[in-house]
Homo-oligomer: A and B are copies of this chain.
Amino acid sequence: MSLGRTGGEAQERPLAATTAGEPIAADRGVLPGEDPVEEVLSLLRARGGRVTSSRRLLLRCLFGDGAHRTAEELAEAVQAQAPDVHLSTIYRNLDELERLGVVVHAHLGHGPATYHLASETHGHLVCESCGTMVEASEDLFASLAEEARERFGFVIDPRHFAVLGSCRHCAPPDSRV
Binding site for B on A (CB under 8 A): 1, 3-4, 109, 125, 127-128, 134, 136, 140-141, 143-144, 147-149, 151-158, 160-168, 171, 175-177
Contacts and interface: CB of A to CB of B under 8 A. Distances in A.
B151 A140 contact: yes
B160 A161 contact: no
Contacts of A175: 155
Given A125-B154, A171-B153, A136 B162 contact: no
B156 A165 contact: yes
B162 A161 contact: yes
25 contacts: A4-B152, A125-B154, A128-B160, A136-B148, A136-B152, A140-B151, A143-B143, A143-B147, A148-B163, A149-B176, A152-B167, A152-B168, A154-B165, A154-B166, A154-B168, A155-B165, A155-B166, A155-B171, A155-B175, A155-B176, A156-B163, A156-B164, A156-B165, A157-B165, A158-B163
A63 to B, nearest CB: 26
Nearest to A168: B153
Contacts of A177: 149
Given A140-B147, A154-B165, 18 more contacts: A1-B153, A4-B152, A125-B152, A127-B154, A128-B157, A134-B152, A136-B148, A141-B144, A143-B144, A144-B144, A153-B167, A154-B166, A155-B171, A155-B175, A156-B164, A160-B164, A161-B162, A163-B163
